[in-house]
Structure 1
């Protein structure tokens, strides 16, 4: 259960942001600027640099990439289907649906290195590279449609998608930066997670989940129950190496991305509802990741 404690610092950063915003002079006006900084600079640099620093292996892209897309694709389909539920508010659903299929890529990288070493880190970098564009497209679409934004225009302008595609292109053509540039990009990216998580806490309104409790429960159940269970079953039938199978299982149970809140806030969604979901998802991830790995181990060797 040591993997559970990997997520504790992220939850504590959310708590710090909550108290700093409410009980110090660093109030809501400060955090509005912080959200824009994270969304337009810090997270894009983090995604770009993570992909460039972990070059893709085209031969491994097929099976592992398909496995990652299967996980997030299932989450996308399940979460978007909830819009058909009677009484579901369109704005709340458009804001919160992304929580069910997006994932915290920084936690993914740290966790993969712990459970799989260098091979695990390379595997999760590839998963991030193929899954982030799909996740961001699926997240932007309902928010852009509901908010009256042009979908294609939002995709072209979305800094998370642009930075991911730029990182993929740079990785595939073998771009390498001078040490000074690489170090600068790395340090900018390192600021993304703490500031992003504190921005989540600053925007937190605990009562917001009461605006749609059934929808919140369903979205979190998809993220932390349905996806891990389905992955534990199907991954054993693939021909992936054991380390990569383990990484995909952990990937399926990760807490959602802290940038879910930033995206909802920037596109006029129900940001406080999403902030509550992110907080609860971070807590649930402390249980779902080790439980998914334990379930995978209990089922025995792969069925191939």
Structure 2
């Protein structure tokens, strides 16, 4: 399978978002509102629908869930360890690291859902929705904790108000209780989901920034190496260890190589850190996804 060709539609939407934001009247102010619409309404609806529309066998998905959580914990451990490595720590500013560590393990859900749909259809959407459901709470805690510790702020309110956590938790509960959407509501919810994927990918492109990439180069190389090289290798080993099915292994490898979350710079800026630098890391991570995804899906798989 030509994964570069498979990824082209998604990354072309990212490029369209970047060009529209930079060279038309639909500037960053407009796309901030679009991003909020996707993040707080359209995307949660897609997550909820993806989970409830197919019966979920937690026992059958337990290996994938375990592999996803272990992969996430490995990424968090590697990110947290960077300032303590003797040959690397002296080149890393603790405050910059607190804001940037999240880039190593967080993921762009917009790209992940669009890619899962193209790779494995409804089964792929269900599998990645489960991974998102179990990993988002863990990753959000790990992202907020170092910044809250350095800024002496609490992080519980950041978690309980997260729309992705709310959507996935309610979706999993509804699925296990046997809830299904009424037939007459399906077309509307399906169209909302399709809109969230397209707008989410374009919003990721609109948020790309290049101005701060010259800062803290050592830290940038370290966190992006974890995100785009080491995590796919960890996922490959876990897929073999747990004996995942072909579909599960494909989704786990795709999940491991996704660009980092586009909202990472929003979180950093909102908590008083250098949002511009984190935005540069997000931009570079989005570009590196063009390489890491074919590597994970074409070479490792």
Superposition map of 1:16-95 within 5 A: 16-84=16-84, 85-95=89-99
Corresponding residue number in structure 2 for 1:12: 12
Aligned ranges 1:152-167 → 2 under 5 Å: 152-167=156-171
Q: Is 228-237 or 109-118 further displaced after alignment?
A: 109-118
Paired residues of 1:7 and 1:107 also in contact (CA < 8 A): no
User: What is the Cα deviation at residue 113 of structure 1?
Assistant: 4.9
The answer on whether the counterparts of 2:7 and 2:115 sit within 8 Å (CA) in structure 1 is no
User: Which one of the candidate residues 250, 254, 257 is aligned to 1:250?
Assistant: 254
Alignment deviations for residues 227-269 of structure 1 (CA, whole Å, 9 cap, x no partner): 1122223422323334423332333222223343444455444
2:3 is matched with 3
Greater Cα shift, 205-214 or 254-263: 254-263
1:81-134 per-residue CA deviation (whole Å, 9 max, x = no partner) reads: 224433534453333322221223344344445555665454333323322222
Equivalent residue number for residue 293 of structure 2: 289
Is 110-119 or 95-104 further displaced after alignment?
110-119
The 10-residue stretch of structure 1 (41-50 or 220-229) with the greater mean CA deviation from structure 2: 41-50
User: 1:195-236: CA deviations, max 9, x gaps?
Assistant: 334334444331212122211111111111111122223422
Matched position secondary structure for 2:214 = helix
If the length of structure 1 is used for normalisation, what is the TM-score? 0.82
The 5 Å alignment of 1:76-155 reads: 76-84=76-84, 85-116=89-120, 119-147=123-151, 149-155=153-159
Q: 1:75 Cα deviation (Å)?
A: 0.9
Secondary structure, aligned partner of 1:209: coil
Q: Which runs of 5+ in 1 are unaligned?
A: 298-304
Residue 229 of structure 2 is matched in structure 1 by 225
Does residue 204 in structure 1 map to residue 176 in structure 2? no
Asked if 1:273 is matched to 2:277, the reply is yes
The change in CA–CA distance for 1:121 and 1:42 in structure 2 (over 3 A counts) is closer
Alignment check: 8 A CA contact 1:200 1:275 kept: no
Instruction: Using the TM superposition, name which of 17-26 and 126-135 deviates more.
Output: 17-26
Aligned length: 297
Is contact 2:236-2:253 (8 Å) kept? yes
Q: Indicate how the Cα distance of structure 1 residues 121 and 93 shifts in structure 2: closer, same or farther if over 3 A, else same.
A: same
- Find the aligned partners of 1:16 and 1:8 in 2 and give their Cα distance: 12
Q: CA deviation at 1:173?
A: 1.4
Task: Give a deviation string over 1:63-90, Cα, whole Å, max 9, x none.
Answer: 2210111111111111122244335344
Instruction: Output the aligned Cα RMSD.
Output: 2.9
Alignment check: 8 A CA contact 2:15 2:202 kept: yes
Whether the aligned pair in 2 keeps the contact of 1:39 and 1:262 (CA below 8 Å) is no
In the alignment, the residues of structure 1 paired with residue 122 and residue 29 of structure 2 have an alpha-carbon distance, to the nearest angstrom, of 42
Q: Counterparts of 1:133 and 1:157 in 2: how far apart (Å)?
A: 11
- Matched residues in 1 for 2:219 and 2:282: separation? 14
Change (3 A) 1:46 1:113: closer
Summarize the Cα distance change of 1:48–1:294 in structure 2 as closer, same or farther, 3 Å threshold. same
